[in-house]
Structure 1
C-alpha cells in the first residue's frame, strides 16, 4: 500500500528543523521519501495544499483506558483521588471495559496528532495491545507492578510482568513494544524496584515509574531513605538513560543536576499536576539545560480531562514562563522537540 501526500508544508524536525514545501511518499506504513515533487504513482494520493504535515507526536506518559473515568473524582488531591475514587473503580473494570476505554483513548490521541504513546497500566493490558492493533497506533506498554497493596506479592508481580514481555516478544507486533514499569516508590517495595530494573536491563527494555509527584512523596522518601527521590533512585540503580520518570514536580537543584548527568528521561504532565493540586511544577527548563531528556505526557484523561497534546504543549510552555518570570524560555520550537524528537527516544 502506497500513499502520496502532495503539496504540503512539511515540518521535518530534522537536525536543521527545516520546513519545506513538497510531497511525502509512504510505503507499507513507512515514510520512504520527502521531496519537492515526487512523481511515483501511489495507491492513494492526498492533496495537502494549504495544510501542514508534522511528525507524529509522542505522548510519553498516559493511562489510555482511564478516559472511562473522565470527570469522576473531581476536585480531589492525588491520594484522595486515587484511594477514594480511582483504585476502587479500576478494580471493577472488565476486559471489555479496558478494550473500549483503550480504543476511545487512542481515537482521542490520533485526533490530536499522536502516533505513539508510552503506557502504564495494570489491569487487562493485553486488551490495550489488541486495541492498538485495531487503531493502528504505536504503544510502549508494560504490565505495571506494585506490591505494597493488599493481595499483591513481589514474586507474582515480577512473574506476571515477565510473562507479558514474553507474550509481546513472541507476537513480534510492530505496533506494541514491551517495557517494564513499577507504579511508584510508595506502592512498590525496594526489592521490587531493584528486581524490576534488573528485568528491564536483562531484557534491554525501558523502565517507567511515577516519581516526585507530591511534596508528601518527596519527604516520605527523604525520611525513610535519607535521600531525595532521584538520589534514592540512583542509589538502587534505577537512574539512567533507559528510565522514564513521570511528573518530577518536587525536586532539588542537586537532583536536577544528577538526572541530567545520568541522561534520565523526564515525562512532564503539566495539566494533571495542576488538576490534582500537587503543588510542584516540574522544572523542565532546568532539566533540559542539565542534560536530561525532557518529554511531554498528558497522564490519563481521568486526571487531565483530555489527551490533547497540543493543549499539553501550550500549558507546559506557558507555565514555565510564568514560574521563572522569563518570556523567552521553553519557546514553542523547544516544546515541540519535547513532544516529537525527545519523546521518540
Structure 2
C-alpha cells in the first residue's frame, strides 16, 4: 500500500502492480468515463507528468530529446517522474483541497496541481481526476507518498498460457454501437510501433478483425506500391515462424512483450490481442427445426459498430513523439502530416 511520506498515514488499500494502460492519458467524448484501473491495482508512469509545463518553442528540440520527446508537442511536463495511478475507490485517508478543485465540466481535472491532502497532516499527496471525457483515476505524487509492503495475499503474475485462458477479452464495440475507446487507444499505440518498424514501405495487413482496425490507417500512412512486408498475429497459441512483422500481446500485469523471436514485433494490449487472435468471427445463420449439438446461435446477437474504426490520433501522436525512430525523415513526415490534420480527417 502507499502511505504519506511525511506522517506515514495510510493512503490506499492494499494494491498490486499492473502495467500502465494505453488509454491512461486519453480524452474521449463528453461523458463520464469509468475508472482507469481495476480495484486493488496500481500502475506507475515512468515519464515526467503534471505541472509545471513548458511550451515546445521555449524548450527546444535538444532539451526535449534529453527528456525523451523526439518530435514537436504542444508542451512538456517538468513534473516528477513516477506518478502512481490507483482507482479512486482504493484511496484512504485524504481530503479535498478546496482551492484546487478545478475542472472543465462535471468534475476535477487536476489542472491546479494535487487536489487531495493527507487527512492526518495536511500534506498535498495526490490528484483526483474525474471530469467528463477523462478516465477516473487518482495520481499519487511520488515525492509525497511512499510504498510499503503489507502482509496480504499478492496477485500472482500469470504465465502467457494462463493469461490466454483466464484474462478477460475487451469487447471492441460498446453497447451503444460505438467502438470501445480502450480499443481506439490500444490500436493507436500499436499502430505507431507498426509504422516505425515498417521502414516506410507498404505492409500487408491480414483479413478479419485485424484488417477492421489496422488496414485503413496503414494504407493511409504508408506509400502505395508492391507489398514488401507482412503483418501476422503471433503469440501464445500462434506461431511467429516466417513472420516479417509480428503483432504480439503486451502482458497486462508486467508490461512485458511476448517474445516472438522475429525481427520486428509490434506490442498490443493483451485483452485486445486475444480478441483479434481467437474471437470466432464466422457469420452465423438462423437454423430451423432445432439446433444440433455444437451449433451456435446468435442469442443475444453480436454487437456491431455503427461506423468505421478510427485509432485515437492523439494517442498515436503521443506515442510516436516519444519513439527515437521518429527522427528519421520519412517517419517525421508521417508524424507531421497527422499532427497538422488533428481531426484525423485523412483517415475517415
TM-score normalised by the chain length of structure 1: 0.26
Where relative contact order (Cα < 8 A, 6+ residues apart) is larger, the structure is 2
Structure exhibiting the larger radius of gyration computed from Cα positions: 2
Structure showing the higher helix proportion among its residues: 1
